[in-house]
Amino acid sequence: MRAKRPRCGRSPAPAVNIRPAAWARLRSNANSAACVPSPAAGGKIQAEPALPPYVARVELSLDGETWALSAAFADLRPDGLLFARYDDTRAADCLGAWIAHLLLCADPAPGVAARTRGLSRDGGFAFRPLARAQARAELHALLALYREGLVRPLHFFPKSAWACMSSGGKDSEALKKWGGGMRPEFGEANDPAWRLVLRGEQGLPGERFFELARQVLGPLFEHLEDA
């Protein structure tokens, strides 16, 4: 896992039309998330400067094999890590932020709070800190699933799993997201990647899916809070 900055190309950036109300809301959220009052500036709101880049690294053992997880963070601040983009929050955003959060809790950066926040068009979210041992245990469990997925298709469908867990564990919401409801063309089952790797399989999502949904997203939701 690596955090990369976007490369600068030669083509000009496309124009983005943002409604004034949406822009004001986004700017307000950004100010509250990334800025603090500065005594040196007479109490005015100023952005906190980023700390030096930090590489988090965790080594874990799976059945006698040593696996190393690492991530480079170039935008850390004393109050933690911030993910921000102008779009609605998606399951992939929370999952990516959660894994980064686990790494920073398992191998903390000096002078940085073990807190990760997300800022998007429709609001924000944050993860509460975990003890180092607990963060390592969560990473170990996720890494074991990753290794399993290298051998056989892993029945973890993120959009359907998110729909299930965010509704309090309702199987019906997962089935709706998987099949698309009245619009099957938008169902997660219609994703070309899933159609390829799961060809010939019937009765999805099945018991293994719901087990994985709870295993992967359960700890995430336990530490998730609105920001």
Q: Which residues contact 34 (CB under 8 A, 6 or more apart)?
A: 47, 48, 77, 82, 84, 119
Higher model confidence: residue 11 or residue 52? 52
Q: List C-alpha distances in Å: 226 to 31, 95, 101, 202.
A: 16, 15, 16, 37
Residues 70 and 130 in one domain: yes
In 3-state terms, what secondary structure has residue 117?
Answer: strand
Per-residue pLDDT for 37 more than 90?
A: no
CA distance 222 to 227: 15
Q: Which pLDDT score, from 0 to 100, does residue 50 have?
A: 86
Residues 135 and 164 in one domain: no
Q: Which pLDDT score, from 0 to 100, does residue 227 have?
A: 57
22, part of any domain:
no
Q: Give pLDDT tens digits for 181-213.
A: 889 889 999 999 999 989 888 888 899 999 999
**Confidence band of 12 (pLDDT split at 50, 70, 90):** very low
Per-residue pLDDT for 4 more than 70?
A: no
24, part of any domain:
no
Backbone angles phi, psi at 128, to 5 degrees: -75, 155
Q: Which pLDDT score, from 0 to 100, does residue 78 have?
A: 94
Residue-number span of the structural domain to which 90 is assigned:
44-150
Average pLDDT over residues 160-165: 94
Of 16-20, 123-127, 133-137, the poorest mean pLDDT is in 16-20
Residues 55 and 144 in one domain: yes
Residues 136 and 66 in one domain: yes
Higher model confidence: residue 88 or residue 27? 88
In 3-state terms, what secondary structure has residue 158?
Answer: helix
Residues 113 and 64 in one domain: yes
DSSP secondary structure, 166-227, as one string? HTTS-HHHHHHHHH-TT-GGGSGGG-HHHHHHTTT--S-S-HHHHHHHHHHHHHHHHTEEE-
133, part of any domain:
yes
Identify the domain boundary among 150, 171, 188.
150
* Domains: count for the chain: 2
Helix (H) or strand (E) holding 90: none
Identify the domain boundary among 129, 150, 171.
150
145, part of any domain:
yes
Q: Which pLDDT score, from 0 to 100, does residue 28 have?
A: 53
pTM beyond 0.75: yes
Residues 182 and 125 in one domain: no
23, part of any domain:
no
pLDDT above 70 covers a percentage of the chain that reads 79
Per-residue pLDDT for 132 more than 60?
A: yes
Identify the domain boundary among 150, 180, 204.
150
Q: Which pLDDT score, from 0 to 100, does residue 41 have?
A: 44
Q: Which pLDDT score, from 0 to 100, does residue 25 have?
A: 55
Q: Which pLDDT score, from 0 to 100, does residue 202 have?
A: 82
Q: Which pLDDT score, from 0 to 100, does residue 139 have?
A: 97
34, part of any domain:
no
Q: Which pLDDT score, from 0 to 100, does residue 19 have?
A: 55
Residues 177 and 130 in one domain: no
Residues 146 and 162 in one domain: no
Q: Give pLDDT tens digits for 67-115.
A: 999 999 998 999 999 988 888 888 888 999 999 999 999 999 999 999 9
Higher model confidence: residue 190 or residue 30? 190
Residues 77 and 134 in one domain: yes
Residues 53 and 134 in one domain: yes
92, part of any domain:
yes
CA distance 87 to 91: 12
Residues 89 and 122 in one domain: yes
Average pLDDT over residues 163-174: 93
Residues 130 and 71 in one domain: yes
144, part of any domain:
yes
Among 137, 154, 133, 157, which Cα is nearest to 145's?
154
